[in-house]
Structure 1
């Protein structure tokens, strides 16, 4: 009956909210520091312009409900922005948002394509094609990396768009990555951080199985270059881990990325790790911004091995106090380590084997909250895994009070 309700709800442009008895359990925390679920979904649906638009998309498999899954998350202006990469067919919008809420948990909230449907048209190289992540700078500009190119859903080159959130998402800049930087077929721009020095830089991880590496983009020069090193590759000894009963056997390279906050007279550090890996590395950003050095072997000597995390990780983020938060995939949890201390002082601050299934990406707001999305994405990225709509909550957004802001402050 619930399955029927799911599909008839689409025709009504509404949704069915099923009761969720999952309880978030947090140890060693007090009330305001609990990881609370503020949004959850059994499946994703959108605010369609008309019922005719919806019916056409549904009947012509432009919208396949069970194939939609969110990955990236960012917060700005009372909105929670989400990316929905086109890992599978039937994804009508790859960038969308829902509204922030003051209390309680919202279930199956409809997503609003951002900035509009037109910029989300599939197979149109002028539009967003497959977005894994994005970042928002202090001026209210969203930097969007449109570079998931691991299937036949698009043949467009990878690109970076900058959208003005204070002006209804108006596009103010576009950079097309050369194929030798980000492959139009086989590239996987995964995550990014922003550095406000020198006119603005973005540091981007390319999780490509063919050509992994770390991409540097200079807004002032409107130019990008790429650094490649074996320490950005997958670590075979960290392969074959299990998340929610599903083995992960792919050797996935550089993925997580985090930037240290500004410090007077001290260069910022960029931290990175492979998804299939335990080691955490860092490098001074002055090295990354030196394009001529990137063409030599000298920059590789500046990579520092920090140490090992408790398990394999996907997303990373550093707050304004230097706390690095990282996801712990097979442990269904979140870790924290202050970068001013030895990594041995790291701790697991949250674990839940029922609700924190594949914690993916982080975000922070200006009110002192950290957000993380869990999304079972290992089911969706594997084309051979059959995904169906059930009573199970597949996607959750957690919020956790830290009293700090992001690395940009």
Structure 2
């Protein structure tokens, strides 16, 4: 059999053995848990709310809560970071609750969250959220401690030397070592990656001349760790050793081409078993690839026509369950529908070792 026919056979075989997802919730339109009382600013936000403009962006899981960011490129969205329960007793789908509260979502108040872009949950119960800010407010990185009553552990404002002028923060992954936790963040408008050290409370940028990035995925912490990079506006995927990013600045000398996906990847994730998952603009499927093997895109999930620019977002929980939202615009933007799906894949995220159980810090 020729290599080409072998690849087609393996691709078809993978589709036939695709994971079975179950539907957790379905929404015709989203609603929020609005506060009671005489807060006129919240009342105005409620009046201006446009349910059809809710576009789910990034996702993270902690315990029985699912955290989601909203794309703020559309008007009438009251909060860019929300949560909902992963299960409930009611047959009605849950309403969205702003995280951590409405007080953190005041427009043009720079002490509030303006535009949550990307998020990641670490193994110690911290939620890391890049905030792209706006024309008035500088971009930040928020770290919330979910173990200790959702308190704000850290707010790091990126200095002008790291992020200046126009920017578009897109994604975040976490690299934990015995002595520090580093965040790698994509800025799709600049030819660099942003790095943040929790230990030093310091950030820096690493140049990647000629290339801008949209999606990130980090390999498990075994051996030489690599950051996988989906190129902005391209099907191309690259990788770079994390050692290239830890030197406090400068340029990444060895950014290596991996291969080309079928379409443009806007979301990627690697589990602890080395499987990389990717979602694509306007496509009705999610693909996968085992990073331990030569690059070969295989189908992980496929559904009928969706017609959405960003149809999926996903995350893994600590029990090896793959959670995914699905947006269906096949009947038009104004008639969009959403689903929350889940499937057991038997592997947790890249942040966890396959041989150890999650242990939250005391």
TM-score bracket, shorter-length normalisation: 0.7 to 0.9
Deviations 1:172-196 (A, max 9, x none): 111100134224x531111100011
Q: Could you tell me which of 172, 188, 192 is aligned with 1:207?
A: 188
Distance change in 2, residues 1:126/1:55 (3 Å)? closer
Alpha-carbon distance, 1:204 to partner: 0.4
Q: Could you tell me which of 202, 208, 227 is aligned with 1:270?
A: 227
Q: Could you tell me which of 13, 20, 26 is aligned with 1:40?
A: 26
| 1:240-389 matches, cutoff 5 A | 254-263=213-222, 266-291=223-248, 294-295=249-250, 297=251, 299-300=252-253, 302-344=254-296, 346-355=297-306, 357=308, 358-375=310-327, 389=334
Secondary structure of the equivalent of 2:31? coil
Q: Could you tell me which of 173, 183, 206 is aligned with 1:193?
A: 173
Equivalent pair of 1:37/1:399 in contact (CA under 8 Å): yes
Unaligned runs of 5+ in 2: 1-13, 353-362
Q: Could you tell me which of 138, 142, 145 is aligned with 1:157?
A: 138
User: Are residue 80 (structure 1) and residue 66 (structure 2) matched?
Assistant: yes
RMSD of aligned alpha carbons? 2.6
Equivalent pair of 2:259/2:295 in contact (CA under 8 Å): yes
Corresponding residue number in structure 1 for 2:341: 398
Q: Could you tell me which of 8, 14, 29 is aligned with 2:17?
A: 29
Distance change in 2, residues 1:194/1:275 (3 Å)? same
* Higher strand proportion: 2
Corresponding residue number in structure 2 for 1:17: none
Structure 1 ranges of 4+ moved more than 4 A: 51-55
Give the distance between the partners of 1:128 and 1:278, measured in 2 at CA. Answer: 32
Deviations 1:228-287 (A, max 9, x none): 324523xxxxxxxxxxxxxxxxxxxx1110000011xx1211000124211111111111
Give the distance between the partners of 2:286 and 2:279, measured in 1 at CA. Answer: 5
Size of the aligned set, in residue pairs, is 334
Alpha-carbon distance, 1:52 to partner: 5.9
| 1:99-114 matches, cutoff 5 A | 99-101=85-87, 108-114=93-99
Most deviating of 310-319 and 34-43: 34-43
* Higher helix proportion: 1
Q: Tell me the TM-score normalised to structure 1 length.
A: 0.75
Corresponding residue number in structure 2 for 1:246: none
Give the distance between the partners of 2:279 and 2:181, measured in 1 at CA. Answer: 27
Give the distance between the partners of 1:269 and 1:195, measured in 2 at CA. Answer: 10
Equivalent pair of 2:162/2:204 in contact (CA under 8 Å): yes
User: Are residue 137 (structure 1) and residue 122 (structure 2) matched?
Assistant: yes
User: Are residue 407 (structure 1) and residue 354 (structure 2) matched?
Assistant: no
Corresponding residue number in structure 1 for 2:57: 71
Equivalent pair of 2:282/2:311 in contact (CA under 8 Å): no
Deviations 1:125-158 (A, max 9, x none): 1111111221111110111111154xxxx51000
Equivalent pair of 2:238/2:256 in contact (CA under 8 Å): yes
Secondary structure of the equivalent of 2:117? strand
